[in-house]
């Protein structure tokens, strides 16, 4: 099929490349000429494992352009995969979605299906369809369908090619048939629902996962108080098939482009319609507080951070991505700097983005974990990169001036620190070697 994709961020570009890998002819549209030029040369503008390789393998079926008129005019299916960032009040900003809808109305010259992949408030698809019908220049049939994405950064290619489910939100047979044809070679189960249900499925799914994370973090905090071990607790919980073991890893909160934005958007939407989702509001509050968990722990070891040499391992919100959106590092590092700390930071892919967001001469960016730890008084682990998880823990003792390791992602087992002089303080578990402080 001839497909156009509006937007080349995580959703748009991954969608376009994966569709091309299934044999479709795909034109990806973006307003950024620099990004388009990069992609035309086979270079992905985003860091996502496996994406660059898949893109290069399918360049004969991929076109990248800023010319939306030519891209949209004769496309059979047009995917909208642009961002919907949050506004100051927590609601979703639909500016980019609306801009694409306007361009589509001006450009389409054949019957087509407009597919909204962007995460949008319930009812948005109805409004977009009405808008396009009111503004379209040519007398053609344009159907709007909802097709929410469920990809996770770091595993986006796999999540798209081997999706857990494909949701088709439409009551129009022509739109349903077109999307079934688009996804014919995708092995995932396909569920056809109405558009508003499809929009709600996306929010309800993301917010439920956010609830699980915030819930288990609260249980972990209580475990520290009463002397239980959160990993033993979650192991016991995970055997219950009604609960499952996914998203039960305790830590310092969720971040990224989805959970923070989508929880706030659904909470705002409920409030706007005179409803209240108290569980979601609580999850937001718990997550905001959890991000400061390591700073609170650090107060046990140092009264202040003035001139303290601090090692920071990981700055992205999760491993496998260079995305910093809502990452705990973005609130912790500036606080440490304000308190007078000297920061050494290591991350395998995220440092360039971090430099732009937290410009400071008091941050030294390091090439290795060893260089980061050398002569430091305390270490904060914010991201569970494999390099961190596989690091020889004895090096914390030999490299640091005072081996205090605060692990916000529970990268190590407690036994690894037995017989060492390293104070290891993690989330929801007993502190190892606390008496040596």
Find where tokens 């290591």 sit: 346
Asked whether the beta carbons of 382 and 350 are under 8 A apart, the reply is no
| Burial classification of residue 279, based on how many CB atoms lie within 10 Å of its CB (0-12 exposed, 13-18 middle, 19 or more buried) | middle
Tokens linked to 96: 């980019």
Distance between CA atoms of residues 40 and 287, nearest Å: 40
Count other C-beta atoms under 10 Å from residue 257's C-beta: 20
Coil vs helix vs strand at 60: helix
Tell how strand 363-365 and strand 342-346 pair up.
Answer: parallel
| Residues 382 and 327: beta-carbon distance below 8 Å | yes
Q: Which of 15, 3, 135, 126 is nearest to 76 (CA)?
A: 3
Please return the burial class of 107, using the count of CB atoms within 10 Å of its CB with bins 0-12, 13-18 and 19+.
Answer: buried
For residues 138-163, b (16+ Cβ closer than 10 Å) or e, as one string?
eeeebbbbbbbbbbbbbbbbebbbeb
Contact in structure between 29 and 71 (CB atoms under 8 Å) = yes
- CA–CA dist 345, 243 (Å, integer): 37
Inter-residue contact 423 to 430 (CB < 8 Å): no
Judge whether 258 counts as a catalytic residue.
Answer: yes
Q: How far apart are CA 401 and CA 308, in angstroms?
A: 11
Greatest C-alpha distance within the chain: 78
Residue 85 to residue 96: CA distance in whole angstroms: 9
Residues forming beta bridges with residue 115, ordered by sequence position: 79, 145
Q: Name the active-site residue from 18, 112, 258, 315.
A: 258
Q: Is 66 left (phi over 0), alpha (psi -120 to 50) or beta?
A: alpha
The set of catalytic residues is 258
């Amino acid at each position: 099929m001839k497909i156009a994709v509006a937007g080349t961020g995580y959703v748009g570009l991954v969608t376009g490349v994966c569709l091309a890998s299934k044999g479709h002819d795909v034109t990806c549209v973006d307003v950024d000429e620099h990004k388009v030029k990069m992609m035309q040369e086979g270079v992905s503008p985003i860091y996502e494992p496996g994406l660059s390789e898949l893109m290069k393998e399918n360049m004969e079926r991929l076109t990248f352009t800023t010319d939306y008129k030519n891209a949209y005019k004769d496309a059979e299916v047009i995917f909208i995969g642009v961002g919907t960032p949050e506004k100051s009040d927590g609601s979703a900003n639909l500016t980019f979605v609306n801009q694409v809808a306007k361009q589509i109305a001006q450009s389409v010259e054949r019957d087509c299906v407009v597919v909204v992949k962007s995460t949008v408030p319930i009812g948005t698809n109805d409004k977009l369809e009405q808008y396009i019908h009111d503004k379209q220049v040519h007398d053609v049939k344009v159907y709007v369908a909802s097709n929410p994405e469920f990809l996770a950064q770091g595993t986006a290619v796999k999540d798209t090619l081997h999706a857990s489910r494909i949701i088709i939100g439409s009551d129009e047979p022509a739109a349903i048939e077109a999307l079934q044809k688009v996804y014919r070679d995708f092995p995932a189960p396909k569920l056809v629902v109405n558009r508003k249900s499809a929009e709600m499925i996306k929010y309800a799914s993301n917010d439920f996962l956010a609830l699980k994370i915030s819930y288990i973090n609260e249980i972990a905090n209580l475990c520290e108080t009463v002397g239980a071990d959160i990993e033993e607790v979650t192991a016991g919980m995970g055997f219950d098939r009604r609960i499952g073991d996914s998203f039960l890893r305790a830590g310092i909160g969720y971040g990224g482009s989805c959970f923070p934005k989508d929880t706030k958007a659904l909470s705002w939407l409920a409030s706007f319609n005179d409803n209240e989702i108290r569980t979601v509001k609580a999850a937001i509050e718990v997550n905001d507080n959890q991000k400061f968990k390591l700073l609170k722990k650090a107060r046990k070891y140092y009264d202040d951070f003035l001139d303290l040499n601090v090692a920071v391992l990981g700055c992205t919100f999760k491993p496998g991505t260079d995305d910093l959106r809502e990452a705990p590092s973005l609130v912790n590092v500036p606080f440490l700097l304000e308190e007078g700390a000297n920061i050494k930071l290591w991350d395998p892919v995220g440092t360039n983005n971090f430099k732009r967001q937290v410009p400071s001469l008091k941050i030294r960016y390091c090439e290795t974990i060893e260089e980061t730890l050398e002569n430091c008084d305390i270490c904060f682990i914010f991201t569970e990169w494999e390099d961190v998880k596989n690091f020889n823990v004895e090096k914390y003792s030999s490299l640091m001036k005072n081996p205090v390791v605060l692990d916000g992602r529970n990268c190590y087992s407690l036994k690894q620190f037995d017989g060492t002089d390293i104070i290891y303080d993690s989330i929801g578990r007993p502190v190892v070697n606390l008496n040596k402080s």
